[in-house]
């Protein structure tokens, strides 16, 4: 166990160092917090456009939010029930001049200064789809076609890691479906197929497998087991720093009536709406492409270049 851990750690640190040396990732001194080079961003943008082209016929409604949620939406979302360990809240200084002096003195003396920071009404977005449910709920009952939304956001998760594929701030593109159980299941099935074909066009080795979220605590283990047994979450996995433990690059999630109940979203007949989402991890896909095709995008296989650059 210990030995294989070390090998994984070494592989992750090795890949990270190589990416930094090539200038693709710009280190900040904090694990999981990176700048990205122009080439890295170009790959992310081309991949983002590729997703759009595979989803275009569905006519999703585009919505873009800053990488933050309203605190009242975050509180109602029950994120803290399931993933308190990942959440990031935004705090700010709200003190008077005296408190300011104290803050500066503590900073100067290398003491803890953040305990004077107060919570704001802004919380970091943990997954791109989170702002969508209250927004759709606000509109009242769904029409016959339900809702289909295209979102793209930076997300924050407090999971610092040596693994360059596990960042604290990363981008997630998602399509989110809200409607009847049939509409939502059709959506997820269609994206399971499209997601695989889309990634196959990029020439990377992949597998699709059932998965679970890292629900917190003892009760969380039950939730995770239940999620797997019911096949509620699938991931498209690509080896990046390990063959045995490939990295989740896309996920296909069926929430049943979880968000529908939380936000009181209704179908035209008054039933509680079901929801599903497909999420693309933008940095992870870019890293998978660099891992399998090399750091020089001009030398990537013609078919891959054609898929991305047309």
**Which of Zn ion, ligand ATP, none has residue 129 at its interface (CB below 5 to 8 Å by kind)?**
Zn ion
Stretch that binds ligand ATP, among 69-77, 138-146, 167-175, 182-190 (CB under 6 A): 167-175
Question: Taking the chain, what is the end-to-end CA distance rounded to the nearest angstrom?
Answer: 45
Site for Zn ion in 6-35 (CB under 5 A): none
Cα separation of 29 and 34, whole Å?
Answer: 9
Query: Is 87 strand, coil or helix?
Result: coil
Nearer to ligand ATP, 183 or 227 (CB): 227
Cα separation of 226 and 172, whole Å?
Answer: 25
**Minimum CB–partner distance for residue 233 and ligand ATP (Å):** 7
Beta carbons of 136 and 178 less than 8 angstroms apart: yes
Residue 159 contacts ligand ATP per CB under 6 A: yes
Give the residue carrying structure tokens 């890295």: 40
155 bridge partner residues: 170
**Minimum CB–partner distance for residue 304 and Zn ion (Å):** 27
Which of 188, 279, 288, 290 is in the footprint of ligand ATP by CB under 6 A?
279
What are the E-state strand segments in 196-306? 207-210, 233-238, 247-256, 274-281
Helices 302-309, 38-55: crossing angle, 10 deg rounding: 70
Phi and psi angles of residue 87, each rounded to the nearest 5 degrees, phi first: -70, 150
Nearer to Zn ion, 241 or 251 (CB): 251
**Minimum CB–partner distance for residue 173 and ligand ATP (Å):** 9
**Minimum CB–partner distance for residue 271 and Zn ion (Å):** 21
Cα separation of 13 and 162, whole Å?
Answer: 6
Residue 157 contacts ligand ATP per CB under 6 A: yes
Residue 232 contacts Zn ion per CB under 5 A: no
DSSP state of 202: T
- Taking CB under 5 A as the rule, which mask of x and - marks residues 155-184 in contact with Zn ion? -------------------x----------
Residue 287 contacts ligand ATP per CB under 6 A: no
Q: Which two tokens stand for residue 283?
A: 């940095």
Cα separation of 167 and 27, whole Å?
Answer: 12
Nearer to ligand ATP, 274 or 284 (CB): 284
Which of 67, 195, 260, 281 is in the footprint of ligand ATP by CB under 6 A?
281
The residue ranges that bind Zn ion (CB under 5 A) are 127, 129, 174, 277
The residue ranges that bind ligand ATP (CB under 6 A) are 127, 157, 159, 165-167, 170, 172, 213, 235, 248-251, 279, 281, 283-284
């Amino acid at each position: 166990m210990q030995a294989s851990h070390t090998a994984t750690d070494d592989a992750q640190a090795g890949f990270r160092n190589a990416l930094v040396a090539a200038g693709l990732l710009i280190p900040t001194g904090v694990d999981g917090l990176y700048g990205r080079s122009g080439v890295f961003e170009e790959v992310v943008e081309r991949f983002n456009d590729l997703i759009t082209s595979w989803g275009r016929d569905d006519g999703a409604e585009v919505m873009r939010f800053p990488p933050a949620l309203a605190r009242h939406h975050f509180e109602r979302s029950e994120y803290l029930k399931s993933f308190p360990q990942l959440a990031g809240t935004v705090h700010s200084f709200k003190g008077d001049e005296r408190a300011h002096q104290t803050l500066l003195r503590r900073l100067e003396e290398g003491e803890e200064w953040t305990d004077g920071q107060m919570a704001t009404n802004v919380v970091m977005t943990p997954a791109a789809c989170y702002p969508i449910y209250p927004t759709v709920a606000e509109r009242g009952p769904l029409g016959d076609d339900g809702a289909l939304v295209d979102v793209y956001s930076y997300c924050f998760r407090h999971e610092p890691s040596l693994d360059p594929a596990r960042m604290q701030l990363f981008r997630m593109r998602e399509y989110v479906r809200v409607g009847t159980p049939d509409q939502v299941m059709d959506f997820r099935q269609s994206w399971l197929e499209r997601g695989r074909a889309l990634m196959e066009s990029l020439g990377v080795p992949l597998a699709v497998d059932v998965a679970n979220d890292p629900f917190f605590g003892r009760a969380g283990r039950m939730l995770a087991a239940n999620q797997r047994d019911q096949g509620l979450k699938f991931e498209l996995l690509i080896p990046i720093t390990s063959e045995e433990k490939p990295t989740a690059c896309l996920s296909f999630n069926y929430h049943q009536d979880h968000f529908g109940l939380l936000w009181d979203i209704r179908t035209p007949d008054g039933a509680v709406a079901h929801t599903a989402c497909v999420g693309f991890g933008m940095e992870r896909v870019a890293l998978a492409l660099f891992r399998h095709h090399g750091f020089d995008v001009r030398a990537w296989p013609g078919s891959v270049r054609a898929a991305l650059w047309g």
